[in-house]
Structure formats: structure tokens, C-alpha cells
Amino acid sequence: MNMQIRRQRFVLVLLLVFLLWCRVESIRFDLESGHTKCISEDIRSNSMTVGKYHVVNPNDGHPLPDSHRVTVRVTSSYGNSYHYADHVNDGNFAYQTVEEGDYLACFTAANHSPATTITIEFDWKSGIAAKDWGSVAKKDSVELMEVELKKMLDTVQSINEEMYYLREREQEMQQLNRSTNDKMFWFSFLSILVSLSVSGLQLWHLKTFFEKKKLI
């Protein structure tokens, strides 16, 4: 039994490591003029996140057409703005999250006649992946092994924080289940009480009616 629990914990740790290292979203998508497309990313509070984007030039060797410019806005699930750029063909953002939840990066292409299709490359990183390890190595003048150890330390700390976060969510869900069960119990009790009361009133009414009609 203990061996099975250890295996489950080991698999959970591996899964968490995989998830933490995969918090990188690098995509390419098309955006038609006059339309908006949003990318969502679920990010924890107090987490570093960085992003960069640029419009792909449809004609290499030629200047980018003026129609190939976009407006970019990054907002939290509470509607707070963390980045805004208007009529640009490239840009980047970096910030430390304060709120927890889904963050939206929305790209809007202005109306253009004739209609055009803009291709955008967008790279969004958060958590450990958002840290610039090259700069860390250059700044501290450390060897590659030391940088790797720093990465591993941050990974372990992130796993620990993630486990505490999952534990808190589990406790919240248990509390919600207990609260729901209590409410359902009282609702069922009241429903039965009302049903018995209505049945009693009906029996009393029928008895009174039959007595008046001298049927009983």
C-alpha cells in the first residue's frame, strides 16, 4: 500500500514538473482586418509572465504595409489592463501578476479596404519559463551547472507552491461539498415537512367535508 502511494506521489510530481515547464505558449495565427482575436492564459498570482509578438511580413525584403498593424491589449479576468499598444507591428510586455485567473491578450486589426489577412507570431511565457536564465548566468558569472541548479531549485519551489495551491483548492471544494450537503438536507427536510402538512390539511378538509355531508 505504501509503495502504491509513493508511486502515485512520484507520478504527481512528474506531472507537475511537466506542467510547470510547459507553461509556454508560442503560436502563429491569422487575423482578418476589422476583427479581434483573444488568447487566454490561466496564470497564478505573484507569477512572472512575459510575452512578445510581431506581425509577419507577407513580402520579405519589402517594408511592412501600413495595413499590417494591430492594437494589442492584455487584461486580467477582473478587467485590469496590463499592456496596451496601438497601431504597432511588434512589441513585448512583462509584468508580475497580482491577480489570479485567466489573462487575455487581445489583438485587433483595423478595418481596411480591401480586406486583408494579417499573420501574427505570439510567444507567451509564465512562471519558470518566463525567467531569462541567460541573463542570470551572465550577471552572476556562474557556470552552466550552477544555472541548472538554480533552475531545479525554482522548479522544486514552484512544485511546492503548486501542491499547496492544489491542497487549498481541495479544501475549498470539500467545504463547498459540505455546505451543499447541509443545504440539501435542510431543503429535503422542509420539503417533507411541507408535504406532510399539505397531506394533513387535505385529510382534515376531507374529513370535515364528509362529516358535513353526513357521509361518515
Q: Is the pLDDT of residue 19 over 70?
A: no
Question: What is the strand order of the sheet 90-96 is part of?
Answer: 24-32, 117-126, 48-55, 90-96
For 17-57, the DSSP string reads: HHHHHT-EEEEEEEEETT-EEEEEEEE-TT-EEEEEEEEPP
C-alpha dihedral, 153 to 156 to 160 to 165, nearest 10°? 100
- Strands 117-126, 81-88: pairing kind: unpaired
Report the distance separating Cα 159 and Cα 123, nearest Å.
23
Tell me, what's the pLDDT at 148?
Answer: 65
Q: Is 8 exposed, middle or buried (0-12, 13-18, 19+ CB in 10 A)?
A: exposed
Task: Give the model confidence (pLDDT) of 97-155 as tens digits.
Answer: 888 889 999 999 988 888 889 999 999 988 766 665 555 455 444 556 566 667 777 77
Task: Give the model confidence (pLDDT) of 155-199 as tens digits.
Answer: 777 777 778 888 888 888 888 888 888 889 898 888 898 888 888
Q: Is the pLDDT of residue 29 over 50?
A: yes
Q: Is 83 exposed, middle or buried (0-12, 13-18, 19+ CB in 10 A)?
A: middle
Tell me, what's the pLDDT at 4?
Answer: 52
User: Where residue 20 falls among pLDDT bands split at 50, 70, 90?
Assistant: very low
Tell me, what's the pLDDT at 17?
Answer: 47
Tell me, what's the pLDDT at 24?
Answer: 47
In contact, 103 and 38? CB cutoff 8 Å:
no
Q: Which domains does the chain have, with CATH numbers?
A: 2-131 (2.60.120.680)
Tell me, what's the pLDDT at 147?
Answer: 64
What is the distance in angstroms between the CA of the first residue and the CA of the last residue of the chain? 70
Tell me, what's the pLDDT at 11?
Answer: 46
Tell me, what's the pLDDT at 160?
Answer: 78
